[in-house]
Structure 1
Amino acid sequence: MTDLDPRFSGGRNITMKIPPHRYDATIKFYREVLHLPEVTSPSGAAVGFEFGACNLWIDNCPGLSPTEIWLEVVTSDTEAAARVLADAGIPRRDEIEDLGSGFDGFWVSSPADLIHLVDSQAQSWA
């Protein structure tokens, strides 16, 4: 690794993409059974909970059959990170969810088919 290579680390955000028929029960589990403190989403689009040092976001996703777990990876340089991941054969998956203009990040799929948001250390999302 050189000083020009991007640095990666696990982000604070984990997202569960939940099919509608499981959404309310999942929220109830974290809110009423585990009594995890709620986190307010900056966009108001997700319900979140403190999950140790991380935030666990619960997204209601019509058309989804199994529940999916999405992870955040932060990097010091998203452009360099994109090159490193492409060189390693890691596929970009930007089609899965629009991050909006001005967001410094992108989606990839790990070899295990888990979705990862790769974003700048300065981002705030959910």
Structure 2
Amino acid sequence: MAVGQCAGGVVRAVVVYDGRVLLVAQPERWGLPAGVPEAGETAAASAARAVYELTGYLVDGSQTLASPDGGTPAVVCQLLSESPSGGGSLARAQVRWVPLAEAVVHADVPGAVRSYLRGHMPA
């Protein structure tokens, strides 16, 4: 398997912009945009595709955050468009930007992502 290629499962996207992180509505709470990789798709490509398909935002996966327990990978993505296209499958009310501190406490994010977000909070 090539470096950065996903073995399956779900990949979560961590999109941070201007001190906020992108979250999407999930059945019980807010969480990171996520998707299942297609055959041969890297984690970064899967994360970028999931963000676009769900929200309409264009992003570029740049860094994979490995889960210490080998669980769900997360990919840090750079925002490429400040406004979403009309192509996202979620309604506007199902997509929101929240301050990093709020995401760390209230969102459904894995431990590696919590650590990453804490490291990027303003002092």
TMscore range, shorter length = under 0.3
Select the structure that is richer in strand. 1
**TM-score normalised to structure 1 length:** 0.24
Select the structure that is richer in helix. 2
Larger radius of gyration: 1
